[in-house]
């Protein structure tokens, strides 16, 4: 795993970058940096939606609809009661309290086929069809047993007047017959599966899940379960984290393992990964060190068309991307935080596009920062790992999640957002900052 220069934006134990920076009079910036927007557009341009498959609703959770879906019938399909009570003619309750004759009982799925006439009522349960002649329902709490009892129910006292439509669900009130309920690109959350079932669709066309191979490179890497650390070795944190991110965004992850810094072994591992997956993500080996072979290996693969750039961001400056045999390949940095931030900025949008997602960017909002976020001008956009949560006044506020080096993985794990600091001298406590949300607040 090639070393990436630690973030210069943090040098002490305080959970923010330098507390008292001295702005450079003549800031030095890296030459030939690619603007973030240009790099993002280049990577996203490699991706397009996969082919569609038709699947049952039981498998559709978290997928993106590949078709427009119309209702086969109205919802509700018939007028029914929203409450337990008595179906009545509303005009008969004008003089409430009043006493009506109960002519029967009607339940959901077991309706009573009788007409409600003048001075009559039917005991009715929630969801049961409205009987002919009735135009309202008196809720059970507004009734009492009447003076006459009989096998058919006797009489009922109506304590409160009702009006036409009270406590009645009208046909098509929720969804009209033929209405477009699902647009192509809709993320199928649990409630949408219920909607599809309610309108008569037991299956739906979605985009196929991408298979994404995740490969780590570096002589120093050991599997997470290795019992002992040998001298100079570290456990591979990138691969489990990236596999988790790949899975979280709806893809099928393929574990391509750890490969030493050997060009021949790297080439074989990449070719194997490309044979198993639609996309390959690598971490490590994309910088300019003596053991960073990813550039030469990817360039040597059959049909490889790769770009090697340095993006004007911190962390995650080095990036490789391109296609090999028509399949997207993204080379992420080796430092753990840099790898995960790179995934969020470049890989995740592409993987979502493959699944038919119409909007691939993470949600962003603007909140105040709880403390100073200082930095020096360097020509880059900085992504600071923060926790966004309600403050003492109940309003959302951002606070750094810990140390901000590109190797400080625990701070990344605690973060639920990335604060976006444009080039400059940073922010003071209370200043507003744009944050890219990584999950639920």
In terms of residue numbers, what domain contains 118? Answer: 80-169
Asked if 263 and 301 touch (Cβ cutoff 8 Å), the reply is no
Q: Are 259 and 390 part of one and the same domain? A: no
Residues 189 and 56 in one domain: yes
Give the contacts of 244 (CB within 8 A, at least 6 positions apart). Answer: none
Angle (CA) 403-407-413 rounded to 5° is 65
The predicted structure's pLDDT at residue 148: 79
Q: Residues 214, 177: one domain?
A: no
Strand stretches in 107-240, DSSP E: 120-124, 136-139, 143-145, 155-158, 168-169, 180-182, 203-207, 211-217, 221-222, 234-235
Residues 105 and 88 reside in one and the same domain? yes
Report the half-sphere exposure of 171 (CA within 13 A, side-chain side).
8
216 and 314 within one domain? yes
In a domain, 140, yes or no: yes
The answer to whether residue 379 is domain-embedded is yes
Are 245 and 113 part of one and the same domain?
Answer: no
Instruction: Mark whether 85 and 160 lie in a shared domain.
Output: yes
- Domain membership of residue 8 (yes or no) is no
What pLDDT is stored for residue 289 in this prediction? 59
Structure tokens at 264: 């021949």
For residue 428, tell me if it sits in a domain.
yes
The answer to whether residue 98 sits within a structural domain is: yes
In a domain, 256, yes or no: yes
Within this chain, do residues 339 and 218 fall inside the same structural domain, yes or no?
yes
Contacts of 419-424 spanning 24+ positions with Cβ under 8 A: 419/369, 419/373, 419/383, 419/384, 419/385, 419/386, 420/364, 420/381, 420/382, 420/383, 421/373, 421/375, 421/381, 421/382, 421/383, 421/384, 422/381, 423/377, 423/378, 423/379, 423/380, 423/381, 424/375, 424/377
pLDDT tens across the length of the chain (441 residues):
444 333 433 333 334 444 333 333 334 455 689 999 999 999 999 999 999 999 999 999 999 999 999 999 999 999 999 999 999 999 999 999 999 999 999 999 999 999 999 999 999 999 999 999 999 999 999 999 998 775 557 999 999 999 999 999 999 999 999 999 999 999 999 999 999 999 999 999 999 999 999 999 988 899 988 878 888 899 999 999 999 999 999 999 999 999 998 888 988 999 999 999 999 999 987 766 555 567 777 777 766 788 889 999 999 999 999 998 899 999 999 999 999 999 999 999 999 999 999 999 999 999 999 999 999 999 999 999 999 999 999 999 999 999 999 999 999 999 999 999 999 999 999 999 999 999 877
Domain boundary among 322, 354, 386: 354
Residue 359 lies in a domain: no
- pLDDT of 94: 96
Say if residue 102 is in the same domain as residue 146. Answer: yes
Give the distance, in angstroms, between the CA of residue 141 and the centroid of all CA atoms in the same chain. Answer: 43
69 and 152 share one domain: no
Claim to verify: residue 64 and residue 87 sit in the same structural domain: no
Q: What is the CATH number of the domain that holds 191?
A: 3.90.105.10
**Do 91 and 142 belong to one domain?**
yes
Number of domains the chain is built from: 4
pLDDT digits (tens, 9 = 90+) for 171-197: 999 999 999 999 999 999 999 999 999
Task: Please check whether residue 268 lies inside any domain of the structure.
Answer: yes
């Amino acid at each position: 795993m090639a070393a990436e220069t630690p973030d210069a934006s943090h040098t002490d134990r305080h959970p923010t970058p330098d507390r008292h920076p001295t702005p450079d009079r003549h800031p030095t910036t890296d030459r030939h940096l690619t603007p973030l927007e240009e790099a993002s557009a280049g990577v996203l341009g490699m991706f397009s939606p996969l082919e569609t498959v038709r699947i049952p609703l039981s498998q559709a959770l978290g997928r993106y609809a590949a078709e427009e879906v119309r209702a086969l019938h109205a919802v509700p399909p018939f007028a029914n009661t929203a409450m337990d009570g008595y179906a009545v003619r509303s005009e008969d309750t004008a003089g409430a309290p009043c006493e009506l004759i109960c002519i029967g009982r009607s339940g959901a799925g077991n309706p009573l086929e009788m007409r409600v006439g003048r001075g009559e009522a039917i005991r009715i349960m929630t969801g049961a069809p409205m009987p002919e002649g009735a135009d309202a329902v008196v809720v059970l709490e507004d009734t009492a047993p009447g003076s006459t009892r009989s096998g058919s129910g006797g009489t009922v006292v109506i304590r409160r007047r009702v009006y036409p439509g009270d406590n009645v669900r009208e046909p098509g009130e929720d969804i009209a017959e033929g209405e477009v309920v699902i647009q192509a690109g809709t993320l199928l959350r649990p409630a949408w599966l219920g909607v599809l079932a309610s309108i008569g669709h037991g299956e739906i066309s979605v985009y196929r899940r991408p298979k994404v191979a995740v490969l780590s490179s570096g002589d120093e890497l050991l599997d997470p379960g290795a019992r002992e650390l040998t001298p100079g070795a570290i456990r591979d944190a990138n691969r489990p984290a990236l596999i988790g991110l790949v899975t979280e965004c709806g893809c099928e992850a393929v574990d391509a393992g750890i490969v030493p810094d050997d060009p021949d072994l790297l080439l074989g591992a990449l070719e194997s990964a490309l044979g198993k997956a639609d996309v390959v993500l690598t971490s490590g080996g994309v910088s300019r060190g003596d053991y960073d072979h990813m550039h030469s290996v990817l360039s040597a693969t059959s049909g490889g068309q790769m770009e090697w750039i340095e993006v004007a961001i911190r962390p995650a400056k080095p990036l490789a991307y391109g296609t090999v045999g028509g399949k997207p390949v993204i080379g992420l940095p080796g430092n753990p935080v840099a790898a995960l931030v790179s995934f969020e900025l470049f890989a995740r949008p592409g993987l979502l596009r493959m699944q038919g997602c119409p909007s691939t960017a993470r949600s962003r909002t603007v909140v105040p920062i709880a403390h100073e976020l200082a930095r020096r001008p360097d020509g880059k956009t900085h992504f600071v790992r923060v926790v966004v949560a309600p403050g003492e006044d109940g309003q959302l506020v951002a606070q750094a999640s810990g140390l901000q080096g590109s190797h400080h993985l625990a701070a990344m794990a605690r973060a639920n957002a990335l604060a976006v600091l444009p080039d400059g001298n940073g922010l003071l406590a209370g200043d507003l900052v744009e944050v890219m949300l990584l999950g639920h607040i």
